Structure 1
Amino acid sequence: MIKELSKLIANHDGTTWDNEFNHQQCFCHVLALVLGTGLAAIKLSTSEGPTNQKPNHFPTLPTIIEEGESILDEGQGSESNKEINPDDVSDTTTKSELDDHPHVVSKKTKGKYSDSGIGFTLRKIDYVCRRICSSPAKQAEFKVWAKKMGYDGPGIIGGYGIRWNIAYDSRNRAYQARKVINQLLENEAENGKGKYFSGYEFTSKEWENIKVLNLVLKEFLLLTKRMEGDGPSACMVLYKYSRLLENLEKLKKENKDGLLEAMFDPMIKVALKYKDLALKCEPILMATMLHPAWRLLLFYNKFPAHHNAAQSLLLKKYKDCQVLLKPQTPPTTKESPQRTDGAESGYIFYPINLGLDNSKDKLNRYHEAKYTLGIQGNVLL
């Protein structure tokens, strides 16, 4: 499509648009790719978040064995007293399979969710929301219990497709209506059927994990709304990439050994890829340098490796424009107007000799001007 578009532009007015060189990706589309990679990783994550720390037992003295008492065999005693937690067994099995059999990872990658941790929680919430939306009877039951429990928030929607914002909206609504959803699941368990929702249940910790993920996704939703639309935004692309990578690095540090740890490395990798593509696009470079708040200072501070290339590009384009704007014939020198002595002489404010415009220092004056992105008030005053 981009190739055909470049041909149409060339046939229209002869403008050359290098589709292989210019950065064609919309920032919002790239943001969706970045989040899609992170969400795919978190769906395969088995992390369950920070565990509650239990206080240590009060130290006690060992029992003194009297003469004549027999001591149980250590192996027999450990087998009889040790309790096995099914959750621990499943987690251990999963980790050992991932370590001993690398092909298991590829099989799971083809699927959508893991069998434990945050990935399994997302699988359950997506499944329950879709099952409620697909049944008029369950929708009616949801409305009845919502009215009984005093819930007047938004209804449930199914997070279908690959659009991350729809999945976010679905899980956010589910979290707000978590009491009603828990009641529906409890009703099914009491009936003894347990078929429609596959016997799924949600703990308070799982709901909190969904809340943590939604808080992270909300920031990206706001960023998408700021950048979407038909208005010009090329001058903000590099700034947004820089801020995006800074925020991802910050979130990565904050979630180290946490619930969302597996999410940020893939996102940073994809963001770096498209940032490098944007730094090779001349229209984006020129739009950034012509923005009064950025100019060459953004490259000098945030992209120092590309500062010289950007400066060379700016000088080249400036010289090309000077050649185009240079008049074909030199301007004729006109005689300077003479002041007139009369009643109106005190109200003549025109300069005596305008002279020729010297454009050599225009770039210097432009770069030396001080503007900020968050300037307040009228800049003309």
Structure 2
Amino acid sequence: MVRTKKEDHPFPLLETIIEEDKPEETTNQEIVEVGKTVDLSDDEVDPEDAEEGLAQPGWEWYNEDDKSNQCDEKGIGYTLKKIDYICPQIASSSQKSSGWKLCASKLEFKGRGLIAGYGIQWNIAYDSRQGAYEGRRVITELLGNEDDKYAGKSAAGHFFKS
């Protein structure tokens, strides 16, 4: 079977667009102020009479009296709290990741490393936590190095003290 030869159709022509004259801009237009002005005067608030703000849906409030974050200085809870602290610290930059690798090779740790996406999804967090728990000697060494770094300084930037 032989196909018929297709005719060569040229590109369709478009009509030219006629430019319209631009209206003259007037500089004497009135400026209209929209909205209310914000009063930035400092009203004195007595701290004893001040009320705590109401919680908004979707926001968490830090409560100093909350004991749910407290755990013993020994045991698995404290170890996992250290892991939750150090995993995002290590995964946050390539410099800290290379510090992890260097410290792991110095301690002859052959386990898996930390996952850079720590905290995104529960299964990724679980895998990273497992890897960090296996490498807890490396974490102890890194925290010890951080202790040495902050020795004699304010502990404001340092979370764990040994």
Band of TM-score, shorter chain: 0.3 to 0.5
Q: Larger helix proportion, structure 1 or 2?
A: 1
With structure 2 as the length reference, what TM-score do the two structures score? 0.47
- Name the structure, 1 or 2, with higher relative contact order (CA <8 Å, separation 6+): 1
With structure 1 as the length reference, what TM-score do the two structures score? 0.22
